[in-house]
A and B are shown apart, each in its own frame.
Chain A
Amino acid sequence: MTKRPRKSPARGRRRRPVSRRTRSGRRTNRRRWRTTALKVALAGLVVVAGYGIYLDATIRAQFEGKRWTVPAHVYARPLELYPGMQLTASALQAELGALGYRRAHRAPRSGQFRRQGSSIEVVTRGFRFWDAEEPSRHLKAHFRNGTLVRMTGQDLGPLRLEPQRIGGIYPAHNEDRVLIRLRDTPKLLAKALVAVEDRGFYSHHGLSPRGIARAMWANIKAGGVVQGGSTLTQQLVKNYFLTSERSLWRKGQEAIMSLLLELHYDKGEILEAYLNEVYLGQAGPHAVHGFGLASHFYFAQPLEELSIAQTALLVALVRGASYYNPRRHPARAKIRRDRVLDILASQGVIDAGEAKVARREPLGVTPLPPGGTSDFPAFMDLVRRQLKRDYQEQALTSEGLRIFTTLDPRVQAVSEQALGQRTARLEKAAQLPDGSLEGAVVVSNASGEILALVGGRHARFAGFNRALDAVRPVGSLIKPAVYLAALSTGRYTLATPLDDTPLRVQGPDGEVWAPRNYDRQVHGSVPLHTALAQSYNLATARLGFAIGIRQVLHTLERLGVERDIPAYPAVFLGAVNLSPIDVAQMYQTLASGGFRTPIRSILEVTTADGEPLARYPLAVEQVASPENAYLLTAALQSAVSSGTGRSLTGRLPAGMAPAGKTGTTDELRDSWFAGYTGDFLVVTWLGRDDNKPAGLTGAGGAMQVWADILIRLRSRPLNPVQPPNVEYAWVDGQGRLSGARCSGAVQLPFVRGTLPTENSACVGDDAVGAGQDVMDWLRSLID
């Protein structure tokens, strides 16, 4: 482009002296012509030199500065292995499979495992975590009854497998790569690449006339373009600095830049750049650049584990990654790979025997590209939102940051499956239009780490992320806040009788609020724990008025609900719009014994080299007394065992004793369940995007999904630590002290000093004692 205008003024100047020639002497003319020519040549030289300098600067700036934009890499939680953990051999095998470990039948090498009955022998790859280096280890894990019972091997401390890569944060131009260093690159790959693409790489200066001649000869022989004469250097320049325009001018530019590149940098640096730059495939919208990522993309394995055949396939792809795409055109890809193997054998890179064995190997690509496009769109969405608060877009998409998250792929898979299957069944049973019933799931652990996030029943499709954005009325899920507020006043115990009778409240605008119970019944005087477990609206509304709306809103805020909630009495019964993740935050505080624990999806952000940048540590803040939290959890346990959640009895493993609460909204539009066990807090929501009735109660819909998840996760029981100043006592249905054998008596926890003072008729007006209980029991036998 810039050359042409430079030429034309030179020509113009040249013509003028010629026209004058007839008038002046010939000699003068010739001298003039010579001086002008000299000037022109000098000017041209200056321009060419200037252009050279410009190109030189371009090359150096790009090559020496940051050479590649690398998207942030996002990792799932690493799997911790320790004796005593609940893990089946199959689950470990699945995890290893997802990490690209190969099954071996002999003693495994790094990145391989061997399964022998109920044990798995594995050699881990090792990984540099931000807090410590996890070395490669050889171990054997023994399983029994769904438990990893024993680990044998050398140097077995607490052990983490490497984390799965679950996605990246991509820039607009969508390049993805995993950077590799030449010194870490397998020798075979470097040799094969040179042998196939540029035999003279180590002897030329950027251009290879012999290579061009050879290519031309081959093309003439074949009657078409079968071989390119470009050196690796030229290919790199073409990919890295230039557009794909094909012209002689661009060829020239490429040649100059190649020579300059060779002038400044040694062969190793150029080869390393090439290894990271070359285009090797397409993962959805993301271009796969470099061998580091290609190895993961096609084989789910790191480069250093690749076989000869696998290496040959990657080298084969250099010639045309989409034309030879091994997933789409396996036959074509195999022919090209075998051709590469032949070249390698003929040039002595591998021997004939190795080539023969390698040719027999299948392509061995994984069926689906792992981690290229995210398999976890809802969770990635959450991660991205959090990162955008703390980082600039550009840092996320180009610096190769490593982001360690809390996602547990196993819990995620279980949750997705449970939601997908259950919604399909419920939809059919409720005769809803196909695909109209939607849902969301949030699962976290005791530290507030989000293990799974499902944004809809078709979890693999990015779209409306209901776990974060479906802000819907929560119904009775709100009630624990009302009851916690009541307990916190110190005026209520779990046995305090509440008044479950109709009430009418006129607001300032004249509107009358007259709530009803779900069963349309009036229950009269009921103990507080029963009102919560049975989710009685009248008793709860009256309780709310007794302690005041401000107090309830304050409690909600303390529990971690950050949305603005209007101060209407209808709030007592859940006329509050929250998203599933808001609900998870609220219940996390209850599950953590009254300590608000911010839920997190990111644990750590490091630079590309593993240097820690920022961490998101476990943090807690006490917002309720341990005693009241304990009491409330006990009440929520009875809500599951004998209240609105009692249909779970028999479905869940005995003794899991979860605490939970159902939520149902007007005309059955929203079906909620929030509940926790010893290991997990799970919040489920079902409903329709068009907000029409879904025909499901909390127990009939969301709770079923909840149970499906918990059954598959195999959780430890909920076993809250009893605070020292909490004691248990038997009380009757009126909230009076009773005995173990009195009919309708239940054992409830009380903060010391708050036991009911009245006695049940069953125990008489006197002191409660074991003897009395036996008498009652005898009497009951006679009666």
Chain B
Amino acid sequence: MASSWARDGPRANGPDTCRGEERTKLNTVLSMRKAISKSVCIAIALLHLASCATAPADSKAPVVEAGTPARGAAGRPASAPAVDSRQATPAGPSRDATGLRGERLSSPAPATEPRSTGTAVLALLQTADLQRAEGQLAASAASLERALRIEPQNPWTWYRLASVRLEQGRLDQAEQLARRCDSLAGSDNEVRARAWRLIAMIHERRGDAAGAREASRRAEALEPGFDPAR
């Protein structure tokens, strides 16, 4: 259907036609679905929210999700970027933590923003996570864009969008979004570390080992317990 309408397919700055979307969706979703059982994703996504919703909206301290129920469960949470098995290299000791821990959802929003804004964004992030867990990557990205309209500077939303793009196989856009996340994170080292992990994976996928090493190094420097003397 789409082909009869689109004159000459997607352009550089043109639309994404949905066929391509479906294709990449299939590839990544199939590999993802093997690893993750849907119910686990949903449970974890809900847990995120349960813990974050109770956190004060203006709390500057990272509200790190208690990841215990998820630890040891099959696979990683919905929010973790999809990784294929080839990409074990940038692991390091901190990677397990990144993979298994939940995400901080509350934004480091400036005090001037209405306190209650957070709940709308939280709900949209929850929706995005569920959609992503169900393989509806485009819809998930749309929910994240809605969240960005409400709170444009929330680095966690940008991080999620980057993860969705990576899952869709859009490496360039994933990298740019991760960089945008990093630029908005300020001193939130946790999300910055994740963004650089993501960038490392992207370099890895492109076969750029040096770029991957460099990005991993930046991620490690931001992770807790980093010892610069090591």
Contacts and interface: CB of A to CB of B under 8 A. Distances in A.
Interface of A: 80, 82-86, 130-132, 147, 149, 157-158, 389-392, 395, 399, 401, 445-447, 449, 592-595, 598, 602, 604-605, 607, 611-622, 626, 655, 678-679, 716-717, 719, 721-724
Contacts of A592: 180
A655 B16 contact: no
A721 B13 contact: no
Nearest to B158: A620
Nearest to B8: A390
B114 A147 contact: yes
B149 A447 contact: yes
16 contacts: A84-B119, A130-B142, A131-B138, A390-B15, A446-B149, A446-B153, A447-B152, A595-B180, A602-B15, A614-B10, A614-B14, A618-B148, A622-B183, A655-B112, A717-B112, A722-B186
Interface stretch (B63-71, B85-93, B120-128, B205-213): B120-128
Residue with the greatest number of chain B CB neighbours at <10 A, chosen from A157, A592, A611, A620: A620
The 5 closest A-B pairs by CB, nearest first: A82-B120, A614-B15, A446-B152, A84-B116, A84-B114
B15 A131 contact: no
A84 B107 CA distance: 15
Contacts of A446: 148-149, 152-153
A478 to B, nearest CB: 23
A710 to B, nearest CB: 16
A614 B15 CA distance: 6
Contact of B123 (A158, A391, A621, A626): A158
Given A80-B149, A389-B11, A447-B152, A614 B17 contact: yes
A395 B5 contact: yes
Contacts of A716: 112-113
A390 B14 contact: yes
A606 to B, nearest CB: 9
Contacts of B7: 390-392
A170 B40 CA distance: 49
B110 interface: yes
Contacts of B119: 82-84
Nearest to B126: A157
Given A158-B146, A719-B112, A721-B153, A593 B184 contact: yes
A721 B184 CA distance: 6
Contacts of A395: 4-5
Residue with the greatest number of chain B CB neighbours at <10 A, chosen from A389, A592, A598: A389
B115 A615 contact: no
Interface string B98-142: 000000000000101111111110011001000000000011011
Nearest to A149: B116
Nearest to A594: B183
Contacts of A621: 176
Nearest to B1: A607
Interface residues of B, number: 52
B179 interface: yes
B117 A82 contact: yes
B184 A616 contact: no
Given A389-B11, A615-B16, A655-B112, A721 B5 contact: no
B173 interface: yes
Given A131-B138, A392-B7, A395-B4, A617 B145 contact: yes
A445 B139 contact: no
Contacts of A614: 2, 6, 10, 14-18
A174 B4 CA distance: 23
A652 to B, nearest CB: 15
Given A595-B183, A615-B18, 20 more contacts: A82-B117, A82-B150, A84-B115, A131-B142, A157-B127, A158-B124, A392-B5, A447-B148, A592-B180, A593-B183, A595-B176, A602-B15, A613-B1, A614-B15, A616-B15, A618-B148, A620-B176, A622-B176, A679-B152, A723-B186
B183 A615 contact: no
Nearest to B118: A84
Contacts of B146: 80, 158
B15 A619 contact: no
A158 B128 CA distance: 11
B39 interface: no
B201 interface: no
Contacts of B138: 131, 612, 615
A537 to B, nearest CB: 32
Task: Tell me whether chain B's interface is mostly helix, strand or loop, or mixed.
Answer: helix
A445 B152 contact: yes
Nearest to A156: B123
Interface in B173-226: 173, 176-177, 179-180, 182-187
Residue with the greatest number of chain B CB neighbours at <10 A, chosen from A86, A616, A716: A716
B166 interface: no
A724 B117 CA distance: 25
Contacts of B18: 612-615
Contacts of A612: 18, 138
A158 B120 contact: yes
A613 B176 contact: no
Nearest to A81: B120
Nearest to A393: B7
A80 B123 CA distance: 13
A721 B183 contact: yes
B139 A131 contact: yes
Contacts of B184: 593, 721
Contacts of B79: none
B163 interface: no
B187 A724 contact: yes
A152 B184 CA distance: 33
Contacts of B1: 607, 611, 613
B183 A613 contact: no
Contacts of A391: 5-7
A267 B33 CA distance: 48
Contacts of B173: 619-620
A84 B122 CA distance: 13
Nearest to B115: A84
Contacts of B13: 598
Residue with the greatest number of chain A CB neighbours at <10 A, chosen from B113, B124, B142: B142
Contacts of A157: 123, 127
B122 to A, nearest CB: 9
A620 B150 contact: no
Interface string B44-80: 0000000000000000000000000000000000000
B171 interface: no
A399 B5 CA distance: 9
Residue with the greatest number of chain B CB neighbours at <10 A, chosen from A130, A612, A655: A612
Contacts of A604: 142
A595 B179 CA distance: 9
Contact of B6 (A390, A611, A723): A390
A593 B176 CA distance: 13
Contact of A389 (B14, B110, B153): B14
Contacts of A130: 142
